[in-house]
Chain A
Amino acid sequence: MDAQAAKFLGAGIACLGMGLAAIGVGNIFGNFLSGALRNPSAADSQFGRAFVGAALAEGLGIFALVVALLLLFT
């Protein structure tokens, strides 16, 4: 296998990490919703925290994207 092909394969495999981050983000919002439906009066105050958690979980997926982009364009 030549180096270029291995790079593309590596980029594709790195993108799996983004899918895993998607599971994390879905988990956060799913749990937020189920909590919010149990206690709707407390939901508004925790809205921001849900987004911070989602942003942090997404951040780790973004590092996978960085690896993929580095493999593709350097």
Chain B
Amino acid sequence: MASPLDQFQIKPIVSLGKIGNSEIAFTNSSLFMMLVVLAIGLFFMLATAQRSLVPGRLQSFAEMLYEFVANTLKSAAGKEGMQFFPLVFSLFLFVLTANFMGMIPGSFTVTSHIIVTFALAMVVFLTVIAVGFAKHGTHFLGLFVPGGAPALLVPFLVVIEVISFLSRPISLGMRLFANMLAGHIALKVFAGFVVSLGALGIGGILGATLPLGMIVALTALEFLVAFLQAYVFTILTCVYLNDALHPGH
């Protein structure tokens, strides 16, 4: 039987040559990333094709997505945050669609690879640093000095703040990666129980209904987690952008 980790294997589809010892290839991961972007583009082209005053089903869903992310961004980063709406909306849609596409049996979950989520987190992190320094110059460093702290404690607090700031991209990327990885492994482990119990004969098949029910429940939970992690990624992006826009504590 296939190991539960087999679903995360990256297989090259078209080899594009080598750089040094590492192969550069168009993999199933890249294929699914392109599919995700294609699906998002196609959906929004279809949804906004009519642009009617009274939205149809597709258009109202697209509007709901827009309003949802816009409200999240406005409540976390204020009105000025809206200039980053394209970035935040793209991140949300990419993560959400990748998570949901991974739920299709036999497909590949792009966000279950740490390099993908870490790259997304680095985009957020570097944007925050660039915007913070561009907008506030050295005042951005005031982010690391908590206001109203006793002078004796300030050096320690600055060290702690710097460490927590630097660990942001790690925790942001790891959270999404670990949730998707753990969920998909749990699904496959329970699926493995069904197969190995079902092979035992009639009593085994009766026993296998229990893990089968568990898979149904876990799949529902995974759909919730897929949405929730996309939301958490988005809201944390908004909170970090708020730090760049308003660095005062």
The answer to whether A and B assemble together is yes
**Chain A positions near chain B (C-beta within 8 angstroms):** 45, 48, 51-52, 54-55, 58-59, 62-63, 65-66
- The answer to whether residues A48 and B76 also contact, given A55-B232, A55-B235, A55-B236 and a CB cut-off of 8 A, is yes
**Chain B positions near chain A (C-beta within 8 angstroms):** 72, 75-76, 167, 170-171, 174-175, 178, 231-232, 235-236, 239
List 19 A–B pairs whose Cβ atoms lie within 8 Å, in order of A's numbering: A48-B75, A48-B76, A48-B235, A51-B231, A51-B232, A51-B235, A52-B235, A52-B236, A54-B232, A55-B235, A58-B175, A59-B167, A59-B171, A59-B174, A59-B175, A62-B171, A62-B174, A62-B178, A63-B171
Interfacial chain B residues near A66, Cβ < 8 Å: 170, 174
Given A55-B232, A58-B175, 4 more pairs with CB closer than 8 A: A48-B75, A62-B178, A66-B170, A66-B174
B107 to chain A, nearest CB (A): 24
Interfacial chain B residues near A55, Cβ < 8 Å: 175, 232, 235-236
Q: How distant is the Cα of A63 from the Cα of B174 in the complex, in angstroms?
A: 9
Q: How distant is the Cα of A66 from the Cα of B239 in the complex, in angstroms?
A: 23
Interfacial chain B residues near A59, Cβ < 8 Å: 167, 171, 174-175
